[in-house]
Structure 1
Amino acid sequence: MEATTQSRSDAGAAARPEAVVERGEVRFTVLTPRLVRLEWSAGKAFRDGRTQIVVRRGLDVPPFTLVEDDRFIEIDTGPLRVRYEKHSGRFAAANLAILVRRAGEAVTWNPGDAQKANLGGTYRTLDRYEGDTWQDGSKLPLEDGLIARDGWHVIDDTESFGIDGADWVTERPPGERQDLYFFGYDRDYRAALADFAAIAGPQPLPPRFVFGYWWSRYWNYSDEELRTLGARFEKERIPLDVLVLDMDWHTTPGLSLRVGHEHKDVFGEPSGWTGYTFNRSLFPDPKAFMRWARGQNLRITLNLHPASGMMPHEERYEAMARALSWDTSTQAPIPFEGASQPYMRALFDTVLDPLERQGVDFWWLDWQQWPESKALPGLSNTWWLNHVFFTEMQRDGDRRGLIYHRWGGLGNHRYPIGFSGDSVISWASLAYQPHFTSMASNVLYGYWSHDIGGHTFDKKIPRPERHLEPELYARWMQLGVFSPVLRTHSAKEASLHKEPWHFGPPCGDAIFAAIRLRYQLAPYIYAAARHAYDTGVSIVRPMYYHWPEHEEAYAYPGQYMFGNDILVAPVTVPAGADGTAPFPVWLPPGRWYSRDGAESFEGGGVLERSYTLGEIPIFVHPGSVVPLYPEGLRDLASVPDTLILQVFPGAEGCTSLYDDDGTSQGYRRGEFARTRVRNRRDGQVHRVHIDGMDGRYRGQPASRAYVVEFLDAGIPERIEVNGEILPYSAEPRPRTWLFDAAWLCIRVDLGAVPVDEAQDVVARFAPEHAPPEGLLHRMRRASDAVKYLKQVWGDVSALPDDVDLAGQGARVLAYAVDEGDDEGRPERFAEAVRAFEARFAGLPASVDATPIDEAFKRGFNDMLGR
């Protein structure tokens, strides 16, 4: 933290001279065509160093024109025209105007203008909020975002503290000043975010393990209990990457005074939260526990509440006191001050670094005390602790920085991950979190981690009535799959369990399926995280980023884009008596496919459907190629040898697979690789071309096994790979293909191939073998409906044969195609499909002719979607 330590250069903090127009007390800097910095200084002292918000201004200078006379100066970038009256003092409505050219009518901004339609940013915490409502009925005081339907936004950086070359805070410049950044972007919201990322820094790419499953519970776990928990995860074949230890891991201060009705430490702050010494009654040998965790490929984070300083009972008290020349004779606590370089240096060197050497991977900063530094009033403790801990971690070798803390304000997007706090357990909280998460991308805060399932119950609910609804938890876990971070957590209540095996079917099945899906999607999510670093567009982002001209993109905040290809609308309402939950989804113009490719939908309207607990409204662009890992992963510590490429129907599409070492900062230095995959359907030929891997990084494999899945594809005449005709196989084998009737999917197994060699996969079809649209959906509906009938009706012997056969549509189709002799039989595919369609069409009449109760018949037809 001092100039002698490894420090970050201020190179690039100052703008290039050719971007600057300085005239007396004012300075204008053209940063991009849509972004101009406006400075006024009574003492003509302008700021070129880094601030809390802005860290880089040395961007490529865009073309602009400068026109001035004795009275006015005018700068025109194309999208913007800045006009200022010279020698007229600080910026005001009377002397400064910026014209924003828009697709429709141009807009003029003057200092003091209020935005009318800001699209929102984020807020420090959701502690004790039920949805967006506090217990007294007040609403969450959201901060503004960087984008608005007004087409412009202004960041006032005047009061920001500076950051020096050693990453330490500096005082604000003296004197009367204005330091404004004007963004004018019309409806090009993604361009505004890219401009902000260019000056405020990108969203860092977290370590790969962050995107796995985090287990967290506020509980006084012992070493033995955690080992038992880990063994149960392994037994249940549930992957796990991060183990979070809440504050009971440490001893609590013994020095407290009785003040009123609260226990407070000698500083008047709440006592009992701060601690740095393992509780040996829970962890007799912390090093051994850490060795066990590392052997399980588990990452460890410990909870810190550093406000009470260093108490004399702590194991490292003497060492820290020596580092600070602190008199220990009185056994007085060493008071906390985050803005003190000596204090923080001593805390890291003598207290936290030894714990990291034992095995702590990163820190959960649970700061809940006074809002501002006592040494530097105005400096947010939350913001500053995020900065200090993150940058300190990045100094340690080549590790990626990682913390786990609340939002501290603009610029904090550089320090992921966010902890949203202790939200109330309710459907209202679940319904608000998709909107809250996607809206945070408007300030580039793309990595909120929520307490999946909620944290605590509303205090008005009596304790005997407090229980976590299994359906609510299952739906929350489904949201977690499509969140930046999947982390369960809960309050310290003995009855509040979130272990997946605690729930029976169907909710337990949905929870297990959610975790498995998260790990399968890991390569897609990791590539989206890299995209966020490159562009400023977060993994979870609102619909209006892509469709800003459509009112529906603003009117349905509970749905969002998850990466570039997947639209998600997590179900956030309970099911009705029929076991389904109605949930309308706005589909943007164009065609969309369900996640399994079984159904296609024409967008441009609202899709009104109901969903069973096992269904999540997920929609994918036509032609998309979604990379997946195979099922069965234990963790994300290493990359599997096999990658599945799911190819959705559509004329064409492409994706870029992303790889790096998953842990180091090499990705910032160009140490990564991309593999482009192109998909094209032309008539009866469907081609998927996998380029050779482009780039190099540490640990790069020489080969990779690819499995290409053509969804909703029917059965082909033949499959070729690099011109070689692959044989059919009834079982998965390298260098063969099979037809999976349960998914109507062609699965081509390329086997292990060199990563730097291109692979060209071609499926050739005959027109008569193409499946009718929606066939897979109908087969699944029939299967579900027949299962329902057998469960609710005691006498199934009177069921017509066609009903049972329709319920086994996929199996019958599989037998027709494959007779067990490794000979795919496309000629029998169309015949089997026609037979199923006839059975499906006749199902209502077949069941109606039986003596089944009318209520069961209605339920059966509902399951069919009739």
Structure 2
Amino acid sequence: MTKYYALLASLLLANTSGWAQSYQRTSQGLKASLETFDVEIRFYSPQIVRVLKTPKGGPPRLASLSVIKEPQATALTLASTDSTVTLTSQALRVRLGLRRGNVAIDQAAGAPLLHETRAAIRFRPNQGPDAGTYAVRQAFRLAPDEVIYGLGQQQNGKLNQRGQRVRLAQHNTSVAIPFFQSAKGYGIFWDNYSPTTFADTLQETSFASEVGRAADYYVLYGGTTDGVVAQLRELTGQAPLMPLWVYGFSQSRERYKTQVELVDVVKRYRALGVPLDGIVQDWQYWGKDDNWNAMSFDPATFPRPQQMVDSVHLLKAHLFIVAWPGFAPKTPQYQEFASKNMLLNFDTWPPGANTKPYDVYNPAARAIYWRYLNKGIFSLGPDAWWLDSTEPDHINEKPTDFDQPTHLGTYRSVQNAFPLQHVRGVYEHQRATSEAKRVMLLTRSAFAGQQRYGSNTWSGDVGSSFETLKKQVPAALNFSLTGLPYWNADIGGFFAGSFKKDGGAKNPAFQELYVRWMQFATFTPMMRSHGTDIPREIYQFGQRGDWAFDVQEQFINLRYRLLPYLYGTAWQVTSHGGSIMRPLAAAFGRDRASLDQSGEFLFGQSFLVAPVTEAGTKTKSVYLPAGATWYDFWTGQRLTGGQTVARACPIELLPVYVRAGAIVPWGPKVQYAGEKKWDHLEIRVYPGANGEFTLYEDEGDSYRYEKGARSEITFRWDDAKRQLTIQNRQGSFPGMLARRTFRLALAGPQNGAGVAPAKVVKAVSYASKQLVVKL
């Protein structure tokens, strides 16, 4: 019969003769010894506390793969009774029960946050390859009406994850991250990399992992969803800034079969005058499947790869190249990895090719992977990587596949960290090779901490349907709420075969779906068209004058006009732990109706977006949160928050609202992100509340911004005085504008509506010194 370690022991205070055991004060918290396990409570900051429970005689806990923060000196007060010891920081109060070892975490002032249940912890010894480790379960008690977010990216169509039972294991379209945060202002990261079941019932909320050396979790207090995300970045790493061009529009297809075909796509966009910044080369540029992922170009279809890269650059575009974690036996990579016992022995994509993934957990294997990628591809000068199958694909899955050893233990024990370690290898080695280009990694999966490696995760090979589109909104928000700011999806969905027989891109039903999806993508961190079955280039849908072409062009142009706003928002992500896609609760947590709005989101600080996710929609109900005044982006109509409005939404319109107090820089019309300098920006002010926005600029690429090569210009609007202050410019970089003109406009029903040029109230010349302007 399997033995269980339960919380049945008592703990003795060091100065109390009635107990059999003791606790010990440490520099960052305390350690306590119970009969069957030890407990450590360690503060990493006043807002972050770690709880670690280790079975007696168990193996030591390995260093975290996700957490990089070192504990900082934190002022703590300690109080104790016969049954409880309490540690209090400036933000948190942590109580340890000395009989069962239960932990309760509250705000320092006493408001309850997260409490373990009475039968909180369970360790069950594993057998076989994982012998010496445990199946670990930890349970908590949440308030009955508490709203929680997170768990990575789940395609369940829900924003609030209460009442869910989810097996957290990486799969195509499902990103598994054992983290949730509460609308009460705290988050919990369960630091475990094995498949883990999250379960929430009326009685308890729990994490149960298949393999662990300890129960190890962090509680982070941020006060708001934004605050929790900022604390999680503090714990697991900040997100570097993407190149400016990445925030533009990228085109892809499964797949471009020759280098001529790929370059021709860029040429056609330039000839049409439709903006484009990225072009993606998907799989099989290496030839047949028996040469899968050789990281070299097939001479028959890509005879002059350097010429291809150079041609894309001459057209002022940027090139993604795909790379996979698995290799076919014919490749030199496979042979070297096999000779060094660095392959995982299970089948990955494509079927029938006997392709095996390399051991991403081994730093020596990651170095070998980069050596081939650098020599075969990066030396040609591409701009970004598409790291496909980063979960990875697992074909013909067998239970014994998970028993095999990796550099860090059985595959089962570290399965969910596969994407984290794989992208880490590419990021770290590219940065060590050259910092001339910022690392951009388009990945299909992620884990906690992956944001620090230049990762932008897409939602996987999802189907082409309005039902799937609807699920992308809460999936993206929950992903963002796990601390990962960069997310995107294949515009139109990947699998579009159901529309192919009826005309493909000329099928009106697919055109409607694709256009509505593109409208949504305009307000996501990356705007990228991709899919199989039906080519998605804009000219496949018709020509100017055809509605499916015209609406796409309108929203691609809108994306580029918003680049100064989006780049400034991205800088807040990097510098202040911010997010691009945010739930309404991020800014309106006191408005109960905002907490579970799964069909709307905030884009940065200023925009509220309500994607159209049902076919044939003519009118959409949109909730405008209480606590703010809102402007209809398209008409300038001013509306009071705290109400649901019925917004007409013909095919050319997506419901978008702007918060009063917003300051939105409006960029020039361009064909690519770096075509024009921002020397004549229109600055739209939405009166009705005070507001602030920081215009951020740098060289657009390279990591010199980390060393100070950047500038910030902060705009502040005083609504009572009708006064805009443009503050002194902070910082500088080579090629920066020394003087510029800002065209100032007040938005409203008669001005600044939609994409039409606003009527300028004042044009001011700015030479980096503070200006105060009455409007």
Q: Given the two structures, how large is their TM-score scaled by the length of structure 1?
A: 0.69
2:759 aligned partner:
745
Q: Which residue of 2 aligns with 1:239?
A: 275
Among 294, 299, 303, the alignment partner of 2:322 is 303
Q: 1:39 aligns with which of 22, 47, 52?
A: 52
Is the CA contact (8 Å cut-off) linking 2:178 and 2:191 kept in structure 1? no
- Distance in 1, matches of 2:563 and 2:723, equals 25
Moved more, 554-563 or 660-669: 660-669
Task: Give the conservation status (yes or no) of the 8 Å contact 2:366–2:422.
Answer: no
The aligned residue for residue 775 of structure 1 is none
Residue 482 (structure 1) shift:
0.3
Give the AA of the match of 1:304.
Answer: A
Out of 568, 573, 588, the position equivalent to 1:527 is 568
Per-residue deviation, 1:374: 4.8
Q: Does 1:395 align with 2:432?
A: yes
The one-letter code sitting in structure 1 at the alignment partner of 2:243 is P
User: Structure 1: how far apart are the matches of 2:342 and 2:636?
Assistant: 70
Q: 1:285 to 1:680 in 2, by over 3 A?
A: same
- Tell me the distance in 1 between the aligned counterparts of 2:378 and 2:582: 34
Alpha-carbon contact 1:34-1:79 (below 8 Å) kept: yes
Check if 1:287 corresponds to 2:306. yes
Alignment match, 2:76: 64
Gaps of 5+ in 1: 1-15, 162-171, 255-271, 327-331, 716-737, 764-866
Question: How many aligned residue pairs are there?
Answer: 669
Quick check: 1:423–1:429 contact (8 Å CA) kept in 2? yes
Instruction: Measure the CA separation in 1 of the matches of 2:310 and 2:175.
Output: 44
Kindly indicate which of the two structures has a greater share of residues assigned to strand. Answer: 2
Secondary structure at the residue paired with 2:149? Answer: coil
The alpha carbon displacement at 1:303 in A equals 1.5
Bigger radius of gyration: 1
Q: 1:17 to 1:198 in 2, by over 3 A?
A: farther
**CA contact 1:125–1:407 (8 Å) conserved in 2:** no
- The alpha carbon displacement at 1:228 in A equals 2.4
What is the aligned partner in structure 1 of residue 295 from structure 2? 276
Q: Distance in 1 between matches of 2:604 and 2:212?
A: 45
1:793-824 residue CA offsets vs partner (Å, 9 max, x unmatched): xxxxxxxxxxxxxxxxxxxxxxxxxxxxxxxx
Match of 1:614 among 613, 631, 652: 652
Cα shift readout 1:200-255 (whole Å, capped 9, x = no counterpart): 1122221221101111011233222223222211121112111101103221244x
- Counterpart position of 1:423: 462
- Paired residue for 1:358? 380
Unpaired segments ≥5 residues, structure 2: 1-24, 121-138, 167-171, 196-208, 344-353, 395-400
| Residue in structure 1 matched with residue 148 of structure 2 by the alignment | 119
**CA distance in structure 2 between the partners assigned to 1:759 and 1:334 by the alignment:** 61
- Equivalent-residue separation in structure 1 for 2:687 and 2:184 (angstroms): 38
Could you tell me which residue of structure 2 aligns to residue 147 of structure 1?
181
- Cα distance in 2 for partners of 1:207, 1:739 equals 29
1:745-799 CA-partner distances (Å, limit 9, x unpaired): 2253335x42x22233334xxxxxxxxxxxxxxxxxxxxxxxxxxxxxxxxxxxx
1:226 to 1:128, Cα distance in 2 relative to 1, 3 A: farther
Matched with 1:179 is 216
How do 1:291-370 residues align onto structure 2 when only pairs under 5 Å count?
Answer: 291-309=310-328, 311-312=330-331, 336-367=358-389, 368-370=392-394
Deviation at 1:144, TM superposition (A): 5.5
CA distance in 2, matches of 1:519, 1:389: 29
Query: Tell me, what secondary structure is at the counterpart of 1:410?
Result: coil
Matches within 5 A, 1:178-197: 178-183=215-220, 188-197=224-233
Which residue pairs with 1:821 in the alignment? none
User: Residues 335, 644 of structure 1: CA spacing in aligned structure 2 closer, same or farther, 3 A cutoff?
Assistant: closer
d(CA) in 1 for partners of 2:214, 2:405:
24
Residue 481 of structure 2 corresponds to which residue in structure 1?
A: 442
Match in the other structure for 1:552 = 593
Question: What is the rounded CA distance, in whole Å, between the counterparts of 1:682 and 1:95 in structure 2?
Answer: 52
CA–CA distance in structure 2, aligned partners of residues 175 and 549 of structure 1: 38
- Secondary structure of 2:595's match? helix
- Aligned counterparts of 2:674 and 2:388: Cα–Cα separation in 1: 26
Q: Distance in 1 between matches of 2:566 and 2:700?
A: 13
Query: In the alignment, what sits opposite 2:88?
Result: 76
Give 1:127 deviation, angstroms. 13
CA-atom RMSD in angstroms: 4.1
Q: Which residue of 1 aligns with 2:68?
A: 55
- Once structures 1 and 2 are overlaid, which stretch shifts more, 52-61 or 238-247? 52-61
Report the CA distance between 1:488 and its aligned residue.
0.2
Q: What whole-Å deviation, never above 9, does each CA across 1:510-531 have from its counterpart, x for those lacking one? A: 1111000101111111111121
Q: Tell me, yes or no, if the aligned pair for 1:203 and 1:444 is still in contact at 8 Å.
A: no
Question: Could you tell me how far apart the structure 1 residues matched to 2:637 and 2:60 are?
Answer: 57
Which residue of structure 1 lines up, in the alignment, with residue 542 of structure 2?
A: 502
| Matched-pair contact (CA < 8 Å) for 1:274–1:309 | yes
In structure 2, the partner of 1:591 is: 629
Greater RCO, 1 or 2 (C-alpha within 8 Å, sep 6+): 2
Q: Give the residue type in structure 1 aligned to 2:181.
A: I
d(CA) in 2 for partners of 1:31 and 1:739?
Answer: 47
After superposition, residues 730-809 of structure 1 pair within 5 angstroms as: 745-750=759-764, 753-754=766-767, 756-763=768-775
- Cα distance in 2, alignment partners of residues 462 and 664 from structure 1: 42
Residue of 463, 466, 473 corresponding to 2:514: 473
Q: Secondary structure at the match of 2:414?
A: coil
Number of the residue aligned with 1:840? none
Q: 1:750 to 1:38 in 2, by over 3 A?
A: same
Are 2:410 and 1:379 equivalent residues in the alignment?
no
- Change over 3 Å in CA distance of 1:146–1:252 after alignment to 2: same
Q: CA offsets per residue over residues 636-684 of structure 1, 9 Å max, x none? A: 377443322112233532211112233233444444321111223557x
Q: Secondary structure at the match of 1:155?
A: strand
Matched letter for residue 474 of structure 2: H
Aligned to 2:245: 209
- Report the equivalent of 2:523: 482
Within a 5 Å distance, the mapping from 1:659-674 to structure 2 comes to 659-674=697-712
- Does the CA contact (< 8 Å) of 2:321 and 2:382 recur in 1? yes
Alpha carbons of structure 1 residues 632 and 679: separation in structure 2 relative to 1, 3 Å: same
Contact 1:592 1:601 in 2 (8 A): yes
- Measured at CA, do residues 323 and 697 of structure 1 come closer, stay the same or move farther in structure 2, by a change above 3 Å? farther
Matched, 1:412 2:450: yes
How many Å separate the matches in 2 of 1:356 and 1:139? 28
Q: Which region of structure 1 is more displaced relative to structure 2, 187-196 or 202-211?
A: 187-196
Residue of structure 2 aligned with 1:689, choices 725, 728, 751:
725
Partner AA of 1:98 in structure 2:
I
Query: Any conservation in 2 of the 1:413–1:443 contact (CA below 8 Å)?
Result: no
Conserved? CA contact 2:157–2:475, under 8 Å: no
**Separation of aligned partners in 1, 2:707 and 2:494:** 39
Whole-angstrom CA distance in 2 between matches of 1:44 and 1:472: 58
In 2: Cα distance, 1:665 partner to 1:520 partner: 25
Give the Å deviation of 1:128. 14
- Letter in structure 1 aligned against 2:149: G
Contact 1:26 1:44 in 2 (8 A): no
- SS state of the match for residue 243, structure 1? strand
Query: 1:598 corresponds to which letter in structure 2?
Result: G
Contact conserved, 1:82 with 1:98, CA < 8 A, in 2? yes
Task: Give the equivalent residue in structure 2 for 1:433.
Answer: 472
What is the match of residue 606 of structure 2? Answer: 565
The one-letter code matched in structure 1 to 2:93 is: R
Alpha carbons of 1:48 and 1:700: their partners in 2 closer, same or farther (altered >3 Å)? farther
Decide whether aligned partners of structure 1 residues 277 and 139 sit closer, same or farther in structure 2, where only a CA change above 3 A counts.
closer
CA–CA distance in 2 between the matches of 1:83 and 1:125?
33
Question: Residue 481 of structure 2: SS of its match in structure 1?
Answer: helix
**Does the CA contact (< 8 Å) of 1:641 and 1:705 recur in 2?**
yes
The 2-side partners of 1:740 and 1:214 are apart by 23
Report the CA distance between 1:324 and its aligned residue: 11
How far does residue 78 in structure 1 lie from its aligned partner after superposition? Answer: 5.5
1:506 CA displacement? 2.5
* Partner residue, 1:654: 692
Q: Is the 8 A contact 1:153 1:184 kept in 2?
A: yes
Aligned equivalents of 2:288, 2:723: Cα separation in 1: 63
Q: Percent of pairs identical after alignment?
A: 21
Which residue does 2:743 correspond to in 1? 707
Q: TM-score, normalised by structure 2?
A: 0.77
